Structure 1
Amino acid sequence: MAKKIPFSQDDMNVIFKISPAAPERVVSRESGTIEFKESFGWASLAHYLKTSGAYANAKGGYIVFGIANSPHRLCGLAGGGLKSFREIDPEKLSGHFNEHFAPEIEWEIHEYEFQGKTFGLLYIHEAKDKPVLCTKDAGKDKDLKEGDIYYRYRGRSQRIRYPELKSILEAKRENEQRLWMRHIANIARIGVREVGIFDLHTGCVTGAGSSFLIEESLLSQLAFIKEGEFSEVKGKPALKLIGTVEALSGATLGGSGKHLPKGKGIRTSDIVLEALNQENEIEPEEFIKQICYESTAFLPMYYFMKKARLDLAKTVEMLGGVPSRSPTRKKLVDRLNNRKTQKRAIPSGGSAATLAKQKYAEALRKNEVGATFEGGDFEYCLQAIRGLSVEEVKAHSAYLRGLLRGWFNMHYASANAVLADNMRRAICWVDEALNMGDC
């Protein structure tokens, strides 16, 4: 069973998928792998532990702090809840898990910034050794009961039912059979006289040879006693350490540190505003990848390519590894491969629409366009921006980027589809004019 890598941008996109009708809410629902909590507090520890035990016996999952249960409003953590989450001591939390469950529960913690708010996430890995049993009562209403086995069903954590328990026990038996066959095959390969047996409970090694290697996967099951010192980990076999013990595959011994990993959510507004602000973003590749998950491929990308020092071929290769099923990725690659731009020449005819575009193009060249519009003039001005030459865009870069930034912040969220499309394409042309030649 491959160990999941949690908190990827892919996973965050699923959890923090925004409702088109209500941008302050997520469309995600509590499920077999997601549970929402409006805040974080140690008074609810027993409930968190129960959910964690249920996840460990199922497929693993997230507890997300900062999202209300119904409706799923993006509250974010603040005040005492945020302070408590940030001050979680990994050793203390691991102690709670070990005190109430066996075998051991593996978990990871993460802080996530999205839409200017902070969220906390706790991820519980699917247990390697199931079932995970509750070993101690806890909670005012006995949320945890000694001897119970919890399982995560759709949107809830409860005592396991017979079909799921039967499945776990059968899988455990099949796994033990595979391990026996592997051990027998190894013994046959090495030779019976050359094999030693290491007893995890007594610490004794029987058989030929004076040393042995410990497989990396076994390290979490061992506690080491060094001469002159004593260290006890409840429930783990102990070894007397004479000399040194080295782990295979570069593994390290010891507990978790107190560093809280942090991440930042990226959405359409972040991509647009970073490109218009031209801030020194330290992970520009992530902005390019995120476009593959958005609803449109017409977002600025060349600024981020230039910051990442990526040429066209390397960018296309990178996008090929993005696990997005959205058609946006294909359209984005098409934009790159065909070097398509959003420049559109303003015709020389005399229609009212053409005259309006010509008027705004001339005003843009003189930095005379203001921030407000009436009627359909806004669309004509956005189309006029796409009629400017590369040289004109570069000459008025700060002015144009400032206009577009203000319009995007003021109008994009409430714009109809046509106006929003015109705005994105105007932003794309400014990005292309300023940065495409360097990629």
Structure 2
Amino acid sequence: MTEILTDDWLENFFAAADELNILKRRESHCIEFKGKFEWSSEKARANYCKSLCAFSNNKGGALIFGVEDSPHKIIGIEDYEKTDDADITNYINELFTPSINFERKEFKFRGMTLGILYAFKNKNRPIICNKDSSKTSSSDIYYRYGAKSSKIKAGDLIKLIEEVKKEESERWIKLLENIGEIGIENTHLLNSMSGEIISENNTFLLDETLLGQIKIIDRYSIQKDGEPAVKIIGNIPELARVIKTNTNIYEEDIYKSYLNDISIATNEDLLKFICQKNTAYYPFYFLLRRLELNKKESIKFLEDIKIRGSVRKSLIERIKKDTKSINYKNRFTIASNSQYGADRKKVLEKFIESADINIESEDNAKRTLEATFRLENGEFEFSYVKKVLCQIFEKHYPFQNGSVNYLFRDSITYLDYLENKASR
């Protein structure tokens, strides 16, 4: 997720803000919003570092300062750069080991300054707390679960350790394969920390000013202002290329692609994005239909995606038998003797009649979302239900009640199941 640090990513991310600077994005496993940057407060900085540790133990992520909570209004901050990076590093190292690799930058949006504090995914996971503070406890390991930084669960700790072992093994295997292909006599190892280039017979030192300029390139670099030009002879295998996607994809893009029947990115890229999420319960059948893939072809397509993790496998299981969607049918009661049953029943009737539905308040929107799980194929117009859900998105997303964000996702996912899976 290091693209979070780029201006292109940030411009695209904050483009979802409306004219009142309300940001139509929500916190996630890699994003957390903070209204202020209060490094002088021990409680605040301990909380920041807890989140940085959780990000670093997962896939990396950023604290974004200058965005209020509920709603996510962009207000900007001042004096973000006055705190020295060394102070942040020293405090982090007091609390956690091994150290957390982070980067900090400012970003300008509509005349306001936003602060970005990004923690990289750590190769030496897990990072462990070694000192009590107002927000941390010694020996705890923190992990990012959705929009929360919490103590890691036993099962996730086991998975994390296994993942680190696997990544290290893969790096060794790749290195040995390259040495075998090139030949030991032609192999030179670069120590990127010290600048030493070690070969079979000699050791060379690379000048520090050149060390930071080494990049993997294709064909050649163009010399600029006296910088060294580097030429690579021969072809670079496709796997060795540095590939940059043209568009950044967000969770909201999946929702909008389905509800508005538009293509914000390629169908393949949207599917790959879902494979990298923490849950497989997203709308994705509509993407398979767009690609005109049958059941067997859909499974083969997902099997060929080179992404680690359980989500890809779970999507394949959904194609075979979508047990969760089947179980979600009639998830909420419409019985008149229940607290909200009568309200849901009224919404359901309006869905069937394509009549106006009151979604002015978040509670009304919640009842509307709950009613979608009572829909039956053939009894309603998908286009009308999608229109209502779009209106809910525009008016309330992200929801002040965090649990409604998940209800919104589940509602769209269930609708996608009805339209593109159950109807086939």
Q: TM-score, normalised by structure 1?
A: 0.44
TM-score, structure 2 as length reference: 0.45
Instruction: Name the larger-Rg structure.
Output: 1
